[in-house]
Amino acid sequence: MSQGVFITVEGGEGAGKSTQLALLENYLTELGIDLLRTREPGGVPSAEIVRELLIHGDGDRWSPLTETLLHFAARHEHVSRLIRPAIAEGKWVLCDRFADSTTAYQGYAQDIDHDVISNLYEIAVGDIKPNLTIILDLPVEIGLERARARKSGGMRYESMGIEFHQRLREGFLQIADQEAERCVVIDGNQPVDKISKDIIVLIDQRFNPRRA
């Protein structure tokens, strides 16, 4: 049985990841692709419990290192119980955020050393790595406005200062620069349909799902 495809979508607050993932899921499902859509932090019941700890409460509820460890604890549950088996079965996995969020939020925005993050990746995730990461980029002010208007879920990260969000936007762009093969930046400040078309063209070029 052939290995599955692992695609992650990343971006700051209000970038439109969930909308785009739902549209991509529809497209691939109509082509008959066996897929799983999931998210981080969370994705399995144990990791969803950790998610609750992370997205609610004051901004300084956790030290940045504790926060990093919690994200990797949740990720280990998610990868070992859901993502790894799904990929081994040949499924496509579409994931709303993955380890690049830790590099951007806890690394670039909260100053956790990048070596700490890559060591934890090795321990908690091992050899699983996204085949493609789509980074939806848009100005911080626009994203935050959208996220606040939506008022869904936890507001903990949204409540952090504007500089925090600027650093994490820069962080995502740096990750994309450093891993240009894996990461593609798409302008998230465009109509939903246009972004969705850009993503579908990209997926068709990279993976040819019509033949999968």
Residues that bind ligand TMP (CB under 6 A): 13, 39-41, 54-55, 71, 97, 101-102, 105-106, 153, 157
CB of 163 to ligand TMP, least distance (A): 15
Cβ atoms of residues 62 and 50 within 8 Å: no
Which residue number, 110 or 196, has a Cβ lying nearer to ligand TMP? 110
Which residue number, 33 or 144, has a Cβ lying nearer to ligand TMP? 144
Q: In three state form, how does the secondary structure of the chain look?
A: CCCCEEEEEEECCCCCHHHHHHHHHHHHHHCCCCEEEEECCCCCHHHHHHHHHHHCCCCCCCCHHHHHHHHHHHHHHHHHHHHHHHHHCCCEEEEECCHHHHHHHHHHCCCCCHHHHHHHHHHHCCCCCCCEEEEEECCHHHHHHHHHHHCCCCCCCCCCCHHHHHHHHHHHHHHHHHCCCCEEEEECCCCHHHHHHHHHHHHHHHHCHHHC
CB of 123 to ligand TMP, least distance (A): 15
CB of 18 to ligand TMP, least distance (A): 7
Which residue number, 33 or 54, has a Cβ lying nearer to ligand TMP? 54
CB of 208 to ligand TMP, least distance (A): 29
Which residue number, 35 or 109, has a Cβ lying nearer to ligand TMP? 109
CB of 110 to ligand TMP, least distance (A): 8
CB of 180 to ligand TMP, least distance (A): 21
Q: Are strands 132-137 and 183-187 parallel, antiparallel or unpaired?
A: parallel
Which residue number, 117 or 132, has a Cβ lying nearer to ligand TMP? 117
